[in-house]
Amino acid sequence: MAIITSNDTSFDEDLKKNEKVVVKYYADWCGSCKLFSPKYKRLSDDERFRDISFLDVNAEHNPGARKMANVDTLPFFAVFRNGVLVEAKSTTKEDDFIALLEKL
């Protein structure tokens, strides 16, 4: 599935129109964010997670979306079900990220 680029303007709507959502919060200067991006893309295409919408949010330019998940470090991931935050965490480990997806 394609990764949706979201921002403060579209974030609420993106959460409402998708039952299960994972959000990757990143910044252009974040090296760890860049290193995780290929894994994020690969997992967005993984059949196990086909019912989850993958969003990308630039944390520096979207304070409203960042606040909804209490982002405090990058990269940061949050999972939402029906627009409600289920869990959020900062990680660079693929296994930790998959465990987060499995909570949906």
Active-site residue set = 30, 33
φ and ψ of 21, to 5 deg = -135, 135
Label residue 48 left, alpha or beta by phi (over 0 means left) and psi (-120 to 50 means alpha).
alpha
Per the CB < 8 A criterion, the answer to whether 23 and 10 are in contact is no
List strands edge to edge, sheet with 76-81.
Answer: 4-6, 53-58, 20-26, 76-81, 84-90
